């Protein structure tokens, strides 16, 4: 069976970059896509000892895949120049969401 509530959380995106690189990409993504990305329920980024980690909750894997194809990967290519894109398969762990509460966003699942 699929994830409860039709949600899929993709977490543990780990990138070997700095907070400054993440902040720059995050700011540019908001300028390009706006504050609302279709299907994205929550996005949290934090620094780690060897890079940066992102945890996101999406309405579906389809929403997640479209956002990466349409927004994230083109932006990473633009900002990364000649650098190869990090492997998302190795850097991503997907797991089912069994509860999500965001009171200020009126999200309760």
| Torsions phi, psi for 10 (to 5 deg) | -110, 115
- Rg value, the chain, Cα: 14
Name the pTM for this structure.
0.74
Q: Which of 3-7, 15-19, 34-38 has the highest mean pLDDT?
A: 34-38
Digit-coded pLDDT (tens) for 18-73: 788 888 888 888 888 887 889 888 888 888 888 888 888 888 888 888 998 998 88
84 CB-contact burial (10 Å; exposed 0-12 / middle 13-18 / buried 19+): exposed
Higher-confidence position of 65 and 15: 65
Digit-coded pLDDT (tens) for 69-88: 998 888 888 877 777 766 55
Identify the sign of the CA torsion 33, 53, 46, 44.
Answer: positive
- Asked whether residue 3 carries a pLDDT value surpassing 80, the answer given is no
Q: What is the pLDDT, as a whole number, of residue 16?
A: 74
* Per-position DSSP letters for 57-87, written without gaps between them: EES-HHHHHHHIIIIIHHHHHHHHTTSPPP-
Residue (of 50, 64, 63) closest to 92 by Cα position: 64
């Amino acid at each position: 069976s699929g994830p409860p509530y039709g949600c899929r959380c993709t977490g543990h995106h780990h990138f070997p970059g700095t907070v400054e690189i993440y902040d720059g990409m995050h700011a540019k993504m908001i300028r390009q896509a706006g504050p609302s990305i279709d299907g994205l329920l929550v996005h949290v980024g934090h620094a780690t000892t060897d890079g940066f980690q992102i945890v996101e909750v999406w309405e579906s894997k389809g929403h997640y895949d479209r956002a990466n194809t349409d927004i994230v990967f083109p932006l990473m290519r633009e900002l990364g120049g000649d650098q190869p894109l990090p492997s998302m398969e190795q850097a991503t762990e997907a797991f089912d969401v069994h509860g999500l509460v965001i009171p200020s966003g009126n999200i309760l699942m």
